[in-house]
Amino acid sequence: MWHKIETRVLAFKKILCVFNQVLKKFARFYRKNRCMKMISGYTANGDRLQQLKAFDESKSGVKGIVDKGITKIPPIFVRPPEFSGCDKPSSGHRTRTQFSVPVVDLTDTVGRRADVVAGVRRAAETVGFFQVVNHGIPKRVLDEMLAAARGFHELHREVKSEYYSRELLRKVKFGSNFDLYQSRFANWRDSLFCVMGPEPLDPQELPLICRDITMEYSENVHKMGVTLFELLSEALGLKPDHLIGLDCAKGHLILSHYYPPCPEPELTMGTSKHSDPDFLTILLQDQIGGLQVLYENQWIDVPPVPGALVVNIGDLLQLVSNDRFKSVEHQVLANHAGPRVSIACFLTPHLHPSTRLYGPIKELLSEDRPPVYKETSLKDFIAYYDKKGLDGNSALTHFKCQR
């Protein structure tokens, strides 16, 4: 009797297992089919441009959509299956791996100089990402910066809309998706963009709600950037001031990103796969999570570490280091939870007028290490990056030498 019961239980378990597999396949098929229907639907009707314009002209960003109480995301945000593949677990979903992003301790960078430089070198040459702890920026400043950024994005639409702009040279502007009209799908993210240098920004140009703390955080994070460039110069076997002498730290931008909760996060992205068009990025993120870096063809989570800052190599630093340092692709997942807030500091002169051309550093070249990239101005590099948008392809490919 017991043998018959055990046989039936085993048979039932097998049936349940098959049922679960079928259910998972159906769920993937449903998501893929829905993506394709939504995309083909609004493309065939020719109303995509109208939807983009309506979103843009609302001047309220993604948060304005969420505030309406939506349960489905608008078609312009739906990620096409062939564009990262919304039916592939390895693309746009959390992954489990034994690898973790390196952590660099900046305590006593004088007494422990060799160890710190070695840690920075390993991270910059392999992963292109690392977290820094004991960096010297007070926790109060980090917390207040995150709170102020969130406060700005949660202001009434009428207040925020005064800062809404797509003007290229405007120093302080609020917006959503700089590549809105070029991208295949819009990202689930709003941003406050502030050019802090090289010409000092007049604090009165900043929104009152985040004015004082933005100025204080800007001063702190730029000082930290200078320290990192000194360490990175030594990691390349150069004098500590070499990268600073190339004006890598001459200017910086602060972007306050706001990712509202998303009703269908599996259908879109917070930020599409991309690398950064700067020399170095320093990121402050809250505790929501969602940042991922592409390492050995796997998406690796960059979990929030209280008090830590995330540092990643930018495209321009990979270019001048002649591929010694890696500017790796990364992305941010959309999430049911939220809002997620992050503050990115881009260290670069950006569009500040300059005749300087950037190419591989001469001291790093030899017969065995010929230049990988041709020289370019920052203006031309940024123009190409902005025109290309976040299409999932590296801008660096365009500037490689022809062999």
Residue range 181-193: average pLDDT? 96
Report which residue type is found at 250: K
Secondary structure (3-state) at 305: coil
- How would DSSP label each residue in 200-221? TPPGGGS-GGGHHHHHHHHHHH
pLDDT category at 273 given cuts 50, 70, 90 is very high
Per-residue pLDDT tens over the stretch 215-257: 999 999 999 999 999 999 999 999 999 999 999 999 999 999 9
pLDDT (0 to 100) of residue 21: 60
Separation between Cα atoms, residue 73 and residue 252, nearest integer Å: 34
Per-residue pLDDT tens over the stretch 19-75: 556 454 544 444 445 444 444 444 444 589 999 999 999 999 999 999 999 999 999
**Residues 340 and 288: beta-carbon distance below 8 Å:** yes
Is the torsion defined by CA of 142, 147, 153, 156 positive or negative?
Answer: negative
pLDDT (0 to 100) of residue 99: 78
The number of CA neighbours under 13 Å toward the Cβ of 193 is 17
Residue 357 has pLDDT above 50, yes or no: yes
Average pLDDT, the chain: 88
Residue 340 has pLDDT above 80, yes or no: yes
Residue 189 has pLDDT above 70, yes or no: yes
Residue range 205-210: average pLDDT? 98
Residue 100 has pLDDT above 80, yes or no: yes
**Residues 127 and 293: beta-carbon distance below 8 Å:** yes
* Neighbour tally for 2: CB within 10 Å: 6
pLDDT (0 to 100) of residue 88: 43
> Which H or E run contains 55?
helix 48-58
Report the helix count and the strand count for the chain, using DSSP H and E. 10, 14
pLDDT (0 to 100) of residue 84: 54
Residue 1 has pLDDT above 80, yes or no: no
Separation between Cα atoms, residue 264 and residue 78, nearest integer Å: 9
Separation between Cα atoms, residue 368 and residue 382, nearest integer Å: 30
Residue range 354-363: average pLDDT? 95
pLDDT category at 392 given cuts 50, 70, 90 is confident
Instruction: Report the candidate in 176, 339, 336, 331 with the shortest Cα–Cα distance to residue 265.
Output: 336
Residue range 145-156: average pLDDT? 98
* Neighbour tally for 91: CB within 10 Å: 17
- How would DSSP label each residue in 12-37? HHHHHHHHHHHHHHHHHHHHHHHHHH
Instruction: Report the candidate in 301, 295, 321 with the shortest Cα–Cα distance to residue 128.
Output: 295
Per-residue pLDDT tens over the stretch 9-28: 566 556 665 555 645 454 44
* Among the ranges given (91-95, 118-122, 199-203, 276-280), the one the predictor scored with the smallest mean pLDDT: 91-95
pLDDT category at 89 given cuts 50, 70, 90 is very low
Separation between Cα atoms, residue 81 and residue 34, nearest integer Å: 10
